Amino acid sequence: MSTAYYALFHCLAGCCADTLIGGATADRSKPAWRQVYRALDHGLVKHNCRANEALKDFPKDIEDFANAFVTLQSRRHGADYDPQQVFTKSEVRQDIADAADVIERFYAAPIKDRRAFAAFVLFKRRS
Tens digits of residue pLDDT in 29-86: 999 999 999 999 999 999 999 877 889 999 999 999 999 999 999 999 988 888 888 8
Q: Long-range CB contacts (< 8 A, 24+ apart) of 98-101?
A: 98/4, 98/68, 98/72, 99/4, 99/5, 99/7, 99/8, 99/68, 99/72, 100/7
Question: Within the chain, where are the H helices?
Answer: 2-20, 30-39, 42-49, 52-55, 60-81, 89-108, 111-122
Residue 127 domain-assigned? no
Domain that holds residue 72: 2-122
Share of the chain above pLDDT 90, in %: 76
Residue 29 domain-assigned? yes
**pLDDT value of position 14:** 97
Mean pLDDT of all residues in the chain?
A: 93
**pLDDT value of position 112:** 97
Tell me: pLDDT of 127 over 90: no
Question: What's the domain count of the chain?
Answer: 1
